[in-house]
Amino acid sequence: MKKNRNILVTGGAGYIGSHTVVELINKGFNPVIVDDFRNSDPKVLDGIKSITGKEALLRVVDVTNKKQLKAVFEEFSFSGIIHFAAYKAVNESVDKPLAYYRNNIDGLLNCLELAEEFNGLNFVFSSSCTVYGEPKDIKVVTELTETQEASSPYGATKQMCERIISDVHKSGSPIRLLNLRYFNPVGAHPSAEIGELPIGKPNNLIPFINQTAAGILNELIVFGNDYSTEDGTCIRDYFHVVDLAEAHIKGYEWLNNLDGPKLETINVGTGNGSSVLEIIHIFEKISNESLKWKFGPRREGDIEQIYADTSKAQELISWSAERTIEDAITDAWNWQKKLGNE
């Protein structure tokens, strides 16, 4: 293992970023968070401190501002970058495509240019199963499954970012590159000190369920009941956000032990799917709450079902999800109870 333990974590105050920062600190790394809090809250730093006992280093910088970002590279000597900072709301991206292309592509370009300028660092990129689009026949996708047209500008930015990363690698760049294609990370830290903090009305299922049960929202609309699945609702590969954080650590350590440039792409999920109705039932059982919900029309752009073939993650970085969907829903509900009606 190379000695330098400093890692730049862009978007480190966000949902997945903050859980990863906790695991990095627990493993003896020195993460430096770069975040401008446009989609996160500074109080996450208190949560990180309560869990780890350590103050995470923070620089309030917009990753699309290369000058400011470069100053962070000059201040610290990094062994690599975990690049989370990006916009991620599918619906919003349809309304604001330019903001999504500008932010997600510029942020990546700046990080890659600086990674090259600073002699080829380790680089983990937050990609998404959205790059697969709607899979044709097989719903279990491997990293080699042909990608389809992205269903949103957000998805297109992830495909473009992966393309940029691939071209950089082909050019002979010294950067060691890893794309992690996340399926549906959910849950919160079991301490209930950090978790998801959606700004405004949540788009995603688990925060929507939690806020409905907490009385913040009136009722959950289940988008569609006429899909070709057993109960007619969509199926997703949900998994615990702490498992995802651990995938970043294992991926990072794998990169750190390489002798030269490399590019790999890995699915991060469980290989098992749950339907929307199954999730509601698990939630009701765990929380002892009766959730108010009803069926509504399909949501545009939704994919019927998709799950990860996770064998590559196991083979390459020895990672597989250890926590259950019940663990994730329990932790997410405990986090919501701690937030109260916020």
Rounded CA separation 96/293 (Å): 29
Interaction pattern, residues 136-155, with ligand UFG; x per rule: CB under 6 A: -------------------x
In angstroms, the CA 130 to CA 148 distance is 9
Give the residue, chosen from 10, 20, 40, 130, that forms a contact with ligand UFG under the rule CB under 6 A: 130
Q: Which is nearer to ligand UFG, 236 or 240 (CB)?
A: 236
If one asks whether residue 223 binds ligand UFG (CB under 6 A), the answer comes out as: yes
Cα gap 192→150, rounded to integer Å: 34
Cα angle: 186, vertex 188, 190; to 5 degrees: 135
* Span of 2-10, 77-85, 112-120, 122-130 interacting with ligand UFG by CB under 6 A: 122-130
121 binds ligand UFG (CB under 6 A): no
Q: Which sequence positions are flagged as catalytic?
A: 154
Interacting stretch for ligand UFG, rule CB under 6 A, among 9-17, 22-30, 296-304, 321-329? Answer: 296-304
Question: Pairing state of beta strands 80-83 and 6-10?
Answer: parallel
Which helix (H) or strand (E) element contains residue 73?
A: helix 66-75
State the residue for tokens 């370009």. 109
Closest separation between CB of residue 201 and ligand UFG, Å?
A: 9
Q: How far is the CB of 59 from ligand UFG (least distance, A)?
A: 26
Binding segment for ligand UFG among 32-40, 52-60, 299-307, 323-331 (CB under 6 A)?
A: 299-307
Contact residue for ligand UFG among 36, 92, 231, 302 (CB under 6 A): 302
Q: How many angstroms separate the CA atoms of 66 and 18, rounded?
A: 23
Q: Does 276 interact with ligand UFG (rule: CB under 6 A)?
A: yes
Instruction: Give the binding range for ligand UFG (CB under 6 A) out of 37-45, 128-136, 138-146, 317-325.
Output: 128-136
Stretch of residues binding ligand UFG (CB under 6 A), selected from 96-104, 118-126, 284-292, 298-306? 298-306
Under rule CB under 6 A, residue 90 binds ligand UFG: yes
* CB of 128 or CB of 210, closer to ligand UFG: 128
Task: Give the footprint of ligand UFG on residues 47-86 (CB under 6 A).
Answer: none
State in angstroms the smallest separation of the CB of 293 from ligand UFG.
Answer: 8
How many residues lie near ligand UFG (CB under 6 A)? 21
- Comparing C-alpha atoms, which of 136, 144, 150, 139 is closest to residue 306? 139
Task: Write down the H helix ranges in 171-271.
Answer: 205-213, 241-256
Q: Which residues ranging from 203 to 222 are in contact with ligand UFG (CB under 6 A)?
A: 203-205, 208, 220-222
Q: For residue 299, count CB atoms less than 10 angstroms from its CB and return exposed for 0-12, middle for 13-18, buried for 19 or more.
A: middle
Instruction: Give the β-pairing of 140-141 and 305-308.
Output: parallel
Q: Which is nearer to ligand UFG, 236 or 312 (CB)?
A: 236
Phi and psi, residue 239, nearest 5°: -150, 165
Which stretches of the chain are assigned E, i.e. beta strand?
6-10, 30-34, 57-59, 80-83, 122-128, 140-141, 176-182, 184-186, 220-223, 235-236, 238-240, 262-268, 274-275, 293-296, 305-308
Give me the least distance between CB of 187 and ligand UFG, in Å please: 12
State the DSSP code for 182.
E
Shorter beta-carbon distance to ligand UFG: residue 194 or 306: 306
Interface residue list for ligand UFG (CB under 6 A): 88, 90, 128-130, 155, 184, 203-205, 208, 220-223, 234, 236, 276, 299, 302-303
